[in-house]
Structures are given as structure tokens and as C-alpha cells.
Structure 1
Amino acid sequence: MRYRLVILTFCLVFGLLALFRLDHANHSRETFGTTILKQGSSGKDIYELQGRLKHLGYFNGKVDGQFGSSTLNAVKWFQWKFGMKADGVVGPKTKLKLWKATKDWKPTAAELPPGTAGGAAGGKAGAGGTERAQSLPASNNNGFTDKDLKMMANAVYGESRGEPYEGQVAVAAVILNRVRDAEFPNTPTGVIFQPGAFTAVSDGQIWLTPNANALKAVKDALSGWDPTDGCLYYFNPETATSKWIWSRPQYKTIGKHIFCR
């Protein structure tokens, strides 16, 4: 009798767990549909993907329904933070994780596809659906959010707090140079968290509290000071293990860092 009760209890618990998982999976399917989303995809599912990522702070671009480089970076960042393979492909597992993390999300009018009630009129964000702004907006913060500026200061501090001040400004300038370059994400946060881009992200030093020098270095770089004259890369020759970075054209050395084109 006790054995049957144990079996019955086990079956009941297993059945409830299966129903719970099925219900969550159904919700995510209703939200996104069953199509695998990846770079180059477009449509209403991408509007929702971008809106939910923006709600969590991973996506800073325009919600335009085009899965471009900024959306790819946001997806990879979300996947990495939630312990998934950061491949930028939005399959069932990523959809379910994102749905669970954004149950309270409701789209604004600007996040709805064109033609939807309350949705903004218009189409793609330029030729080929690119999400990139071609130049930095002219304002005190260059159009960046407070979060972007904070992450830049964190990156400067995590990457170069032992460097001369010019070298700290140089690190901030490299981040901005990447933002301007079409090969990189178009926000400082996107650049900083691009997989494998910065050692401070890999070793966790990105989360250290920056000092006044790091904050000032960011402001000086935003004001137009670029000690690197447009460099996109830098490395410490004493610690660099990548053969690729040594192949980049070296432009100048500041402190312990070599800055490259």
C-alpha cells in the first residue's frame, strides 16, 4: 500500500511539473511564435524581442523590427548573463528565459510594428535595416544614457586604473571609436560587453566602482580628446596571448598599452 502511494505521489508531482513546463513553453510560443530568430531576421517577433531586451536594459537601439548588430549584441549579452550559450540565436530556450524575465513588460506605442493599433508609422531603419547611427549626436553626453556613461567609467577603471591619465582617456576613446565604426555595436554598453572584447568583463573587474579619474577620463573622451588618433584596439604586450592582436598595425604606446589600428 505504501509503495503504491509513493508511486502515485511521484506520478502526480511529475505530471504537475510537466504541465507547469508546458504552460510556460506555450506562453513563450504565443509571445514569439516558433520561428528561430537570428541576425537578418525581421518582423513582429523582432519588435517584441527588441522591446523585451530594452525593458531589461540590454538593448539601447531603436525598436525597428530588424535583427541587426545591436540586437545581436543585446541577445548575446542576455544569454551570457542568464547562463546560456551566447550565440545570438533566439531559439526556444532563450525565448522562454526572456519571457520569464519580462512578464511585466508591455510594449509602448513606439515598440509596436507599423500598422498595429498604436504602432508607429514607418519602415526599416535605413538601407539594409541597419541599426547604426552614423555619427555621435552632439550634446554633453553625446546622446548616450547614464548607464552607458557609467559602464564606460567602469571599463576605464577595470582596464586601466594603473595607467597614466592619458592612457585612461585613450581606453575611453577606443570605446567611442568602436561605437562610430560600423563593424562594432553602436552603443558604449554594446561595445564593452561584446563577447571577448574587454578583459575587465571576462574577469569581473568591470563591476568595480570607478574612481574620479575614470569618470573624468570618460568626460574628456566625450569632449573630443583622443590620444589614440582613432585606434580601435589596444593590448598589454606583457599579458596578451592572442596571436591576432599582435598582427594589428601598431600605432603608439601609452603606459603599458599598445594601441592599434
Structure 2
Amino acid sequence: MNISKIFAILLIWIFVSVSILSSGTADAAPVLQKGNQSGDVWDLQYRLKTLGVYPQPLDGTYGTNTKAAVYKFQKKYGLPADGITGAKTWALLKKHSLNIYEMDIMAKIIYSEARGEPYTGQVAVGAVVMNRIQSNQFPNNIKDVVFQPGAFTAVDDGQFWLIPNRTAYLAALDAVRGWDPTNHSLYYFNPDTATSSWIWTRSQNLKIGKHIFAN
């Protein structure tokens, strides 16, 4: 996906938000299949688009293209591929993608924690967040991961609420789509400012910009 296509996803942000809000999308999404039209379909298409398996415009209709994208996702992640979005597909999709509101959280944590870092370093912060969501050592959703007490300095000192720039959103999309420059790290820290002795006990993987990434 090139930059213009990625940016196009951001341009439909408000439109999709209104559609999902009007449908009352909840955490326990219903089974979706060809023919359905709802806010949950908008949510599904948005997730599939960020993962790069649904190139068509979002339209809220579970048509042939949506079914094919679900089939591709299921096959890629080892699920029985039938093109129907049931409980198992939703569960795995939520482990490997974010909805439109969660993407905003991702961009904010990247911007507040890593603005000024090289682009790879910004993606790396997002990758750590995704790695935590997918790990059984942490909560299974981005809100609980980011707001876990003491997890991120930017949340503790209020910088999280700064308005992200476009680069932060692009880094968020790259992280969600699976770019992990950190070698599956679950932690990172700045060795020049770290005050926790515990973080130095972690197994260090590599350094990107000012951050050391570790497990």
C-alpha cells in the first residue's frame, strides 16, 4: 500500500465513525456474511483494509469483495476459510488489527512516546503495542494495554493527549499491518532517562533511535 492509499484511509475516518456510531457497534460483534449491511460491516472492512487484504472502498455492504477479503484473512491466519465472519474470525481479527477508534489510540501513543524518533522507531513503538495485545502476558485490547498503570510514560505525564501528526498515523498503520522492527519485543526504554532498575533486567534485542527494545 503506497502513501496515497494509506492517507486515503485516514480521509474516510469521520465518515466511517458516524456509520459505526449509528449502528451501535459493540465488542461482541454478530456473525456477518454476504448480504449484511451494518456498522459492523464498516468496522470489518476498515480492519481488513488496514491489513491490506481489502483494497476496495468501504461501503458497509458485505458483498463479494468483502467475502473474498475475509476468506484471504482466514486462510492467512490458519482459520477454516469460508468467507463468513464468525466468533473465531472476529477474535483473531481483533488480535491483529484495530478499529477506527483504536487506531487513534495507537497514533496518540506513537506520537506522544516517539515523536522526534526516526520513522522506523515510531513504527517500533506501535509494534510493541501490537505485540502486547497478542501476548498472553498483557490485556488483549489496545485501550487496556496503553492505559495499564505505569505502562507508558506519556500516559502518566499527560502527553498522550497531544494531537498526533500524519506521520504517527502512517506509523500506526504500518505497525498494525505487521511491520515489526523490534524482533517481537514487549518493552522499550530510553537508557538516558530510564529510572526503573527493573527495565534493565530485561533481555535487550536492539536499539532504534534513542530506544532500546527488549523482552
Q: TM-score by structure 1 length?
A: 0.47
Q: C-alpha distance in 2, partners of 1:195/1:234? A: 16
2:160: which partner in 1?
206
On the 8 A contact 1:135/1:180 being kept in 2, the answer is no
SS at match of 2:180: coil
**Aligned pair 1:218/2:172, yes or no?**
yes
Residue 245 (structure 1) aligned to one of 193, 199, 202: 199
CA offset digits 1:101-153 (Å, max 9, x no partner): xxxxxxxxxxxxxxxxxxxxxxxxxxxxxxxx997418xx9452222110110
Q: What residue in structure 1 maps to residue 125 of structure 2?
A: 171
Which residue of the other structure, out of 218, 221, 229, is the alignment partner of 2:183?
A: 229
Unaligned runs of 5+ in 1: 1-59, 64-132
CA distance in 1, matches of 2:113, 2:92: 23
Number of equivalences: 133
Cα RMSD between the aligned structures?
A: 2.7
The within-5 A match list for 1:28-43 is none
CA separation of 1:206/1:251 partners in 2, compared to 1, >3 Å: closer, same or farther? Answer: same
Q: Which has the higher Rg, Structure 1 or Structure 2?
A: 1
Cα pair 2:120 2:208 within 8 Å, conserved: yes
**Alignment correspondent of 2:34:** none
Q: Name the counterpart of 2:15.
A: none
Q: Quote the residue 1:155 is aligned against.
A: 109
User: Does structure 1 residue 254 correspond to structure 2 residue 208?
Assistant: yes
Q: Deviations over 1:70-113 (max 9, x none)?
A: xxxxxxxxxxxxxxxxxxxxxxxxxxxxxxxxxxxxxxxxxxxx
167 and 241 in structure 1: CA distance in 2 versus 1, 3 angstrom threshold: same
CA pair 173-143 structure 1, distance change in 2 beyond 3 A: closer
Matched residue SS, 2:205: strand
Q: CA deviation at 1:160?
A: 0.2
Q: Which residue of 2 is the match for residue 137 of structure 1?
A: 93
Q: What is the correspondence of 1:1-261 to structure 2 with a 5 Å cutoff?
A: 62=28, 136-137=92-93, 142-261=96-215
Percent identity among equivalent residues?
A: 53
Helix, strand or coil for the counterpart of 2:93? Answer: coil
Q: Unmatched 5+ residue regions in structure 2?
A: 1-25, 30-88
Whether the aligned pair in 1 keeps the contact of 2:97 and 2:176 (CA below 8 Å) is: no
Asked if structure 2 preserves the Cα contact closer than 8 Å seen for 1:231 and 1:259, the reply is yes
CA distance in 2, matches of 1:244, 1:61: 35
Q: Is the 8 A contact 2:133 2:141 kept in 1?
A: yes
Alignment check: 8 A CA contact 1:159 1:200 kept: yes
